[in-house]
Structures are given as structure tokens and as C-alpha cells.
Amino acid sequence: MSAVSFKFILLQIFIIIPFVCGSWLRGHLLNPDIWNKRLIRFTLISLEPLFAIWVVWGLELNRNHILLPPAGFVLVLLGLLGGFLILKLLPTESGPDGYSVNESNEPKSDSIASEKNHRLTFYISSSLSNHGFTLGGFLCFLLLGEEGLALSYIMLVYFYPYVFLVVFPLARLSGQQPESDLIAADLTPEETRRRRRRKIREAFLSWNHLPLYGAMLALVLRAMGFERPHYDRQLEERVLESMLFVAVVLYYFSLGLAFSAGAFWLYRGDLLRLCLVKFLFVPIVVWLALFGIDAIWSVSASVANVILIEAITPAAIYSVIAGVLYGLKRELAASLFVGSTIIFLILIVPFL
């Protein structure tokens, strides 16, 4: 067995076992949602910023790679567009949670807020794909070697700005509480405005955004001419791999805490819609676009292959993180992430 194959198998073990353990513990912990949120936040403010600083600081860009970051953002826009279109073409016949809204005992305002959160959760899941080392980047490494992994990192330049400046603020503004809660009877108009301003400010300035701040710090250091320290190459790789596997274990364990088998079946219609977006709409559009671009401007084979691999990846774990941290439909996000990943590994990967 090659070292690459061994790492891929090891990665799957580090994904499956923590996820199963988290799912089992969900039924045995007194407050699994609280532990889930704490665990995600711990990983987000400890390991992720260090990883962001080190990787972004060491990136080497040239004009042959200039297509990659815009391509990553285009994949986001295509996923978002596909999410809008699929909900228009295949609307749900029942309410946002799989039951008829009229049969629900929820007040009308709560039902509207629930539907809004449901749609936003689906849009986030359709726009975010697993482009990172935990799946898309690692497949680039398996199929294209170290160059493929390096190119996938360059492509991920779009990731932190989109997640922390778009996804998280939208999730915070939508998921905390409905607008009617802000206009309580005991609040003066000035207090209401102050609460709204604080909510908007906290959407962009938060401990949850430390990975973004880390990436920005790395860019500043590069712009000032400071080079990333160089140590023994093998030692650097081992440290990065160790950090990665620890982060993967913590994230997938927390994902297990958020996962519900009952919700997985309940949201099967949403999973089908998401798969049509992820595995048909986005890759077909990207393939046609690359074919057209190549006729005008020659795209290197390695760059084109990285874009094509990343274009067909399933939902990202950050869609679940956003749902957990900001009170969106976390069970929907977890079901879409787990379901699309399983389908990808079984039906898509063997043909790559």
C-alpha cells in the first residue's frame, strides 16, 4: 500500500470513528448541543487560526495560478445559484421541516422564521463545498500529487473572506432571533436601535472569526516582506498533518453530536435537491466554462483538473458549524453534509 493510499484510509478512519462516537454520545449527554457548540468554538479559535496563518503565509502565487481564487468564488456563486433554482423548480410540498405548516402548532411568526432559517441553511450548504484538505484538497493530492494539493490551497484564498464576511454574518443576523424579538414592549426606540447596531457589529467582529484574522495577518506579513520561517521540511509536514488530524477528529466528533438519524430521513428531499446542485449543475457548468475559456486562453491541465475536482465535491462542514454557532437548522445542515459526503464517496470518487 502506498503512503498516499494509507493516508487516505487513515483520514477516513479519523472521520468515521469520531462521527460515530459523537452520534452515540448525543443520546447519553445531558446537553449535547451545548457541548457541541463549545467544541466547535474551541477548534475554531485554537487550531484553525494557526493553520490559516501558516498556510497562507507560505503560499507562492504566479500568474499561471491567478485563475484559481476567482474560480473558487465562482464555484460558490454557482452553488448558490443552483440552490435558488432548485428550490424554485422543486419546491417542498410540506413545511420547512417536512410537515405541513398549517398542521404545526407554531405561531405564524415562528413558522415564517423557521422557513427563513431552513432556506438560508440550504443556501449555505449549496454554496459551500468541501474544498479543503479533509476531502477536495486531499483528492487533488491523491490524483495530482503535491502540485495538486498546493493548487487547491491557492484556490481556497476565497474561502475565509466568504465564510467569515458573508456566511457567518448572515447566519448570525438570521439565526439568533426574529426581528420581532428585538422590538419588545419594554424597549425604547433608542434601545431597539442600539441592539440592532450591536447585533450587526458582532456579526463582523467575533472570536469565531479568528481564522479570518489569522489569514489577514499572514497576508500583512507577506506584504511587509517577512518570509515564513523555514525548518526541517519533514518536521513541518508532520506538524501540519498532526494539526489537521486533530482538527478533523474534533470537527467530525462535534458533527456527530449535531447529527440525528431521524432528521436525516426527514430531510431526504433536501438531500436530493442538494445532490442535483453539487453533482450535476455545478460540475456541468464548470466543465462547459473551462472548455470555452480554453478556446480563448490556454489553461494549464493541472489548474483545470483542480478546478474540476473541486467543482464536484459535497457540502462543507462549515455549513454545519454556521448552523450550530448561530442557531440555524443544524440538523438539516448536518444531514445535508453527511448525506452528500456518503453519496460522493460511494458514487463519485470511484469514477475520478
**Does the pLDDT value for residue 306 go beyond 80?**
yes
- Among the listed residues 34, 289, 76, 285, the one whose alpha carbon sits nearest the alpha carbon of residue 163: 76
Q: State the CB neighbour count (10 A cutoff) for residue 187.
A: 13
Q: What is the mean pLDDT of the segment spanning 288-308? A: 84
Q: Which residue has the higher pLDDT, 76 or 55?
A: 76
Q: How many CB atoms lie within 10 A of CB 346?
A: 9
Mean of pLDDT over the chain: 79
Instruction: Identify which has the larger pLDDT, 195 or 315.
Output: 315
| Mean local confidence (pLDDT), 213-218 | 83
Tell me what pLDDT residue 155 has.
Answer: 85
Q: 259-285 pLDDT, tens per residue? A: 777 777 889 899 999 999 999 999 999
d(CA 135, CA 183): 44
Residue 20's Cβ-side half-sphere holds a number of Cα atoms within 13 Å equal to 6
Q: Are 49 and 213 in contact (CB under 8 A)?
A: yes
How many C-beta neighbours within 10 Å does residue 273 have? 24
**Contact residues for 200 (Cβ-Cβ < 8 A; gap 6+):** 173
Confidence category of residue 204, pLDDT binned at 50, 70, 90: low
The answer on pLDDT for 230 being more than 60 is yes
Cα–Cα nearest to 320, from 245, 259, 247, 243: 259
pLDDT at residue 310 is higher than 90: yes
pLDDT for the residue numbered 307: 92
Q: Residue 202 — very low, low, confident or very high, per pLDDT cuts 50/70/90? A: low
Q: Facing residues of 129 across strands?
A: 315
pLDDT digits (tens, 9 = 90+) for 332-352: 988 998 889 889 888 888 777
Is there a contact between 180 and 92 (Cβ–Cβ < 8 Å)? no
**Torsion angle (degrees, nearest 10) of CA 303, 122, 280, 342:** 90
Q: What would you report as the CA-atom Rg of the chain, rounded to the nearest whole angstrom? A: 21
At 96, is the pLDDT very low, low, confident or very high (cuts 50, 70, 90)? Answer: very low
In this prediction, residue 85 carries a pLDDT of: 95
pLDDT score of 250: 86
Q: Structure pTM? A: 0.74
Say how far apart CA 121 and CA 337 lie, in whole Å. 11
58 pLDDT band (50/70/90 cuts)?
confident
Q: Indicate the DSSP class of residue 31.
A: S
